Amino acid sequence: MGNATSRSAALPVLAQLGFQCAEADDPYAAMLELCRRPLAYRSLVLSLAGLYRDELQIIAAVKRRFPHVEIWLTQTDGRAAALAEANRAGADGLLSDEGLHPFATSAALAQTLPPESTRPAAVPESPPARQSPPAEPAPSEAVLTAEELRALLQDSPPTRTGPVPQEG
């Protein structure tokens, strides 16, 4: 995801690594494509040059909704604050001309945790209390996709312009 210039720099590197790519000009188009075909994508490459600071929320949203998708950042020169915020939001690493570079926290966590099958199962000390209802989505998180919202707006009932007929 990014402008044509930043994508043209990343595409050869991704092709060399064996990735097939779909391109998007902005984070909204990228998220829409990811929502349409969530299992078709394993990675999302975001150009920090093509994102406003408040659009970095796409990282946390993708990680929450699609935990199997890795998020890689490119065009990070001179964008230290955005890079740090993207790292906190859950980005997996950087994409440079040399390839993919995972963040140290992601790599260290992967090396320190044993595989799922060898970890002992957690045993609760007491039976769990009544489960709370699922949390409401955050106000900044979209509840409907653009297509769902468009369909709802088109299916709205017609409004009456004349007097309401009286029964009886």
Which pLDDT score is estimated for 110? 46
- Mean pLDDT is highest, among 86-95, 135-144, 158-167, for 86-95
Contacts of 71 (CB under 8 A, 6+ apart): 43, 44, 45, 46, 59, 62, 63, 86, 90, 91, 92
pTM reported for the whole predicted model: 0.57
CA gap 144, 151 in Å, rounded: 10
- Output the six-digit token pair for 50: 């093509």
Look at residue 107 and tell me whether its pLDDT is greater than 50. no
In angstroms, how far is CA 12 from the centroid of its own chain?
23
Written as six digits, the tokens of 6 are: 């930043």
In CATH, the number for domain 4-112 is 3.40.50.2300
Q: What is the pLDDT of residues 111-160, one digit of tens each?
A: 444 454 444 555 455 555 555 555 555 555 666 677 776 776 776 555 55
Residues 6+ apart with CB under 8 A from 143: 137
39-86 pLDDT, tens digit per residue, is 888 888 888 887 888 888 889 999 999 999 988 888 777 788 888 888
